[in-house]
Chain A
Amino acid sequence: AQSVTQLGSHVSVSEGALVLLRCNYSSSVPPYLFWYVQYPNQGLQLLLKYTSAATLVKGINGFEAEFKKSETSFHLTKPSAHMSDAAEYFCAVSMFSGGYNKLIFGAGTRLAVHP
C-alpha cells in the first residue's frame, strides 16, 4: 500500500528565504507523486507532479521538487519565499487500484512567511 509522510506540520520562513517542505513516500510499486497547495478557504491547486519522466520536476509559482528513490523522498523547494506562498501544502501519492487511481494525502504542512 502506498502512503506519504510529511515531516513538520508547521514551517515558518522569512520572506526571501529558502522554502523546504519534506515529503517521504512508501510504495511497493513505482510511485506517482503530487504536491497540492490549499489557500485559506479554497480548494486544492496542483503545484507539480512526478510521473517518472524526470526526477527534478518544476511546478508553478517557482516551486520544484526532486524525486529521490534512494531516500524515498519528494521534497518541495522554492529558492525565495514570498508572502503569497503562505498556505497549506499537501504531498500525495497516487494509489493504483483496479485500473483507477485515488490520491492518498499526507497530513499537510502549513507554511507561514513573515516579513
Chain B
Amino acid sequence: AAGVIQSPRHLIKEKRETATLKCYPIPRHDTVYWYQQGPGQDPQFLISFYEKMQSDKGSIPDRFSAQQFSDYHSELNMSSLELGDSALYFCASSSQTSGWASTDTQYFGPGTRLTVL
C-alpha cells in the first residue's frame, strides 16, 4: 500500500539559509499534518491543512510557512534557519471519513532530518 512520501530524507543547511520540505500524502487523503521532533523529544504539532486550507496551527515559528497544493501535496518552508531548527520533521496524512475528525488515523511519513550547521 502506498505510504506518505517525504523529500528530501536528509537536509543539511547553514544558519540563516532557507529550506523547503515536501510531503506527498497517501492517495485520496485530504488532510496533511506537520510535526517537529527534536533530539530525544516527542513530536510536536506544527500545522495542518484540510482541502488546501489551513485547518489548525500549533507551535510553528513565524519564520516557517506551509501550504497544501491542488494535488494535496504540502510544502513546509523554513527561512532564517537557526541551530535549534535541527530536528526530524514528520508529515502525516489522514482522510476525513467521519464527522468527528478525532477518530481519523494519521499515517506518518519517514520524516526529513534537517541539520542546521
Interface residues of A (CB under 8 A from B): 32, 34, 36, 42-46, 49, 51, 90, 94-108
> Are the C-beta atoms of B42 and A108 separated by less than 8 Å?
yes
Given A51-B102, A90-B43, A96-B100, list of 7 further CB < 8 A pairs?
A43-B109, A44-B90, A94-B103, A100-B101, A101-B101, A102-B45, A105-B42
Q: How large is the interface on B (under 10, 10 to 19, 20 to 34, 35 or more residues)?
A: 20 to 34
Find chain B residues with CB under 8 A from A45 CB. 108
A97 to B100, CA, bound (A): 11
Find chain A residues with CB under 8 A from B92 CB. 44, 103
Q: Is the CB of B105 closer than 8 A to any CB of chain A?
A: yes
> Are the C-beta atoms of B42 and A99 separated by less than 8 Å?
no
Find chain B residues with CB under 8 A from A90 CB. 42-43
- Quick one: which of B101, B105, B110 has the most chain A CB within 10 A? B101
> Are the C-beta atoms of A107 and B110 separated by less than 8 Å?
no
Which residue of B is nearest A102, CB measured?
Answer: B45
Q: What's the minimum C-beta distance from B47 to chain A, rounded to whole angstroms?
A: 9
